[in-house]
């Protein structure tokens, strides 16, 4: 079905390979905006080469200001495949993922990453295609006390890093399941959590069978390294979700995702990047890689026969800046770590150039939306009869 995914691993590689230098510069300017440079990889990071995953770096610079120092922060994005077959015991699968991420997080530390973000529901296979409750619900854990939070707390302390850990959460009191990110700071303290605001009902993404729309609003976490928000997966299709994180002051919004297929891939490079532009913050889009096979067959509501494989997750994680520029993507089919150095001063600098926040007329839209959600709303339609 997704054979196309195998044919090449990275769009930018193809452009680089075939297009002559002068024209390539123009193509990239139009497609990807202002050129970015790479970070130097320090000597102690040569051990990276021993681990089998791709490492890419990128640097987004801002203009020098008289009254503010540069506010440099290094973010790390990890995209990975599951570590064991989905038929293994739940705890074994989870521990194997913990171990895999530990190695990549250590590589991130050697690249001086300050804030690391993992992919959506990183501690499990993305089993929601099956609509089976067991054993998948057994992966759900407490945001405060669960084994994954405990593991990440240790990692944060050891590596002096903020880590954004997207998990399947089971509420401590009600036992309700949620799709949640836990934000843990560099001291190992749980700064807070956020529950996915928009839940898909598309193709194999039967997530609404498992959990409902989040009830945590649009929190922005004030970390030592900057103000961050997290727009989980399908929320990237919703401009209002991105907007509210901006209104609450986010400078970086992470978008940990799990997505496959021809349907979403042409949208992937558009949405997080549009959000960075419209809201004048950095966005970090992360998608898993690999194909996950489940023990029992399931159907996809597409008229095709029952099958056991989810389509191939196409990776392609990237970072977009408020000025419309963006990093290169990680591979479509390899595990990887993308490290980007951001100068957060760029957010305000771009706000001052484009003035989108000044000109956005929020009071008009607060009023328009309030009218629009009234059950008696009459859309503003002009035809020959009502002129």
| Active site residues per annotation | 120, 196, 233
| Window 272 to 291, contacts with a second copy (CB under 8 A) | 273-274, 277-278
Dist CA 365 CA 368 (whole Å): 5
Phi and psi for 177 in degrees, rounded to 5? -95, 140
Q: Binding to a second copy by residue 305, rule CB under 8 A? A: no
Site pattern 184..203 for a second copy (x: CB under 8 A) = -x---x-xx----xxxxxx-
* Closer Cβ to a second copy, 20 or 296, answer by number: 20
Dist CA 351 CA 355 (whole Å): 5
Only one of the segments 38-46, 100-108, 247-255, 333-341 lies at the binding site for a second copy (rule: CB under 8 A); that segment is 247-255
CB 335 within 8 A of CB 79: yes
| Window 6 to 65, contacts with a second copy (CB under 8 A) | 7-8, 11, 14-15, 18-20, 22-23, 26-27, 29-34
Question: What does the block give as tokens for 191?
Answer: 């700064």
CA distances to 256, 323, 324, 326, 332 from 24, rounded to whole Å, are: 30, 20, 18, 16, 21
Q: Binding to a second copy by residue 368, rule CB under 8 A? A: yes
The b-or-e profile of 338-365 (16+ CB within 10 A means b, else e) is: bbbbbbbbbbbbbbeebeeeeeeeeeee
State the nearest-atom distance from the C-beta of 372 to a second copy, in Å.
Answer: 5
Q: Binding to a second copy by residue 299, rule CB under 8 A? A: no
Dist CA 141 CA 147 (whole Å): 7
Kind plus residue range of the DSSP H or E element containing 263: helix 261-279
Size of the site for a second copy (CB under 8 A): 90
| Window 317 to 356, contacts with a second copy (CB under 8 A) | 323-325, 353-356
Q: Binding to a second copy by residue 361, rule CB under 8 A? A: yes
State the nearest-atom distance from the C-beta of 294 to a second copy, in Å.
Answer: 23
Dist CA 313 CA 268 (whole Å): 12
CB 169 within 8 A of CB 141: yes
Q: Binding to a second copy by residue 263, rule CB under 8 A? A: yes
Site pattern 224..243 for a second copy (x: CB under 8 A) = ---x------x--xxxx-xx
State the nearest-atom distance from the C-beta of 77 to a second copy, in Å.
Answer: 19
């Amino acid at each position: 079905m997704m054979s196309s995914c195998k044919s090449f691993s990275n769009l930018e590689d193809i452009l680089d390979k075939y297009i002559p230098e002068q024209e390539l510069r123009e193509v990239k300017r139009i497609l990807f905006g202002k050129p970015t440079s790479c970070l130097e990889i320090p000597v102690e990071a040569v051990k990276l080469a021993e681990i089998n995953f791709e490492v890419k770096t990128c640097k987004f610079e801002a203009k020098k200001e008289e009254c503010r120092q540069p506010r440099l922060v290094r973010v790390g994005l990890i995209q990975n495949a599951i570590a064991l077959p989905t038929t293994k015991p739940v705890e074994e699968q989870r521990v194997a993922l913990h171990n895999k991420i530990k190695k990549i997080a250590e590589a991130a530390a050697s690249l001086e990453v300050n804030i690391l973000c993992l992919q959506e529901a990183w501690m499990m296979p993305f089993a929601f295609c099956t609509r089976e409750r067991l054993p998948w619900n057994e992966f759900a854990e407490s945001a405060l006390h669960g084994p994954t939070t405990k593991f990440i707390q240790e990692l944060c302390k050891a590596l002096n890093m903020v880590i954004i850990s997207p998990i399947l959460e089971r509420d401590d009191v009600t036992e309700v399941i949620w799709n949640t990110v836990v934000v843990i700071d560099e001291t190992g303290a749980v700064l807070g959590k956020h529950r996915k605001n928009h839940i898909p009902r598309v193709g194999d993404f039967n997530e609404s069978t498992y959990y409902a729309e989040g009830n945590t609003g649009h929190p922005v976490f004030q970390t030592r390294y900057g103000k961050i928000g997290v727009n989980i997966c399908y929320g990237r299709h919703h401009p209002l979700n991105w907007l509210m994180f901006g209104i609450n002051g986010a400078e970086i919004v992470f978008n940990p995702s799990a997505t496959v297929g021809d349907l979403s891939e042409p949208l992937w490079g558009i949405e997080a990047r549009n959000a960075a532009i419209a809201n004048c913050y950095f966005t970090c889009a992360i998608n898993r890689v690999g194909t996950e096979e489940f023990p029992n067959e399931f159907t996809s509501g597409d008229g095709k026969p029952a099958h056991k494989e989810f389509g191939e997750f196409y990776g392609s994680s990237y970072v977009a800046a408020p000025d419309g520029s963006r990093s290169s993507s990680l591979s479509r089919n390899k595990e990887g770590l993308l490290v980007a150095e951001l100068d957060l001063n760029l957010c305000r600098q771009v706000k001052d150039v484009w003035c989108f926040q000044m000109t956005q007329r929020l009071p008009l839209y607060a009023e328009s939306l309030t009218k629009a959600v009234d059950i008696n709303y009459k859309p503003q339609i002009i035809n020959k009869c009502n002129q």
